[in-house]
Amino acid sequence: MYLAVTKQNNLDNTVSTDDESLIRLLANIQKHIVLDAKDMEYLHRVFKHRTVQKKELLLLQGRLCRKLFFVASGSVRAFNVSDDGKESTIMFAIDDWWITDMYCFLNQKKALLSLEVLEDSEVFELSYEAFQKGFEKLPQLERFFRILFQNAYVREQLRVLETISLTTEERYRNFVIKYPQIVEKVTQKQIASYLGVTPEFLSTIKKK
């Protein structure tokens, strides 16, 4: 799930201009709601900033999913490992995108996905408790997350429709067109896993 940065109303009055990660987070949230200085100070307190390294796991499949992540810079991959050991990439998140195991986060269940950092990255994490309390402190946050989750649902529905109606070659071409920034950051093996094919089959498609 993701939202692009569109504006940064009054951000320079609240945070130092050298804190680019925080500015990006607040600007992202302000795409759909208006924040005053007090609101931004509150969000600064409840979102925890982390510098994470390549291959670090933000979430491990089977553990309780308690956090929602905003990727200020870098890239993260969500994947599932089946009982027989098959690994399937479910989604990616790059700069200015949000990511979690949404079903398990919202229902406080054990994660069905793991979240792997694909390169050294800057992320902000929001705990489930802070997520819930945020609606009381900042009621407009409910609108923001509603839109965020709506967009995520629509995107995943379109992906399912593509899977059942398009060839693998067509799906790969659409992926490259829609997400050129992701293609630059991830491996062909990870793209193949996302498309549900082997790296060898994807290589054959690319040669065409």
Q: Answer positive or negative: Cα dihedral of 143, 113, 133, 126.
A: negative
Q: Which of 61, 188, 180, 182 is nearest to 116 (CA)?
A: 61
- 131 within 8 A of 168, measured Cβ to Cβ: no
Domain locations in the chain?
2-138
The predicted structure's pLDDT at residue 15: 43
Stated pTM of the model: 0.88
The predicted structure's pLDDT at residue 19: 86
Report residue 164 as tokens.
């059942």
Residue 70's Cβ-count burial label (10 Å; 0-12, 13-18, 19+) is: buried
Start-to-end Cα distance in the chain: 31
β-pairing, 57-59 vs 114-117, is: antiparallel
Q: Superfamily for 2-138?
A: Jelly Rolls (2.60.120.10)
Please give the average pLDDT of every successive group of 10 residues along the chain, which has 208 residues.
Answer: 36 50 96 95 96 97 98 98 95 97 97 98 97 96 96 94 95 95 94 94 85
The predicted structure's pLDDT at residue 87: 95
The predicted structure's pLDDT at residue 71: 98
**Which residue type occupies 142?**
E
Task: Return the residue matching tokens 């992320």.
Answer: 123
The predicted structure's pLDDT at residue 17: 36
Collapsing DSSP to helix, strand or coil, 101 comes out as: coil
The predicted structure's pLDDT at residue 207: 78
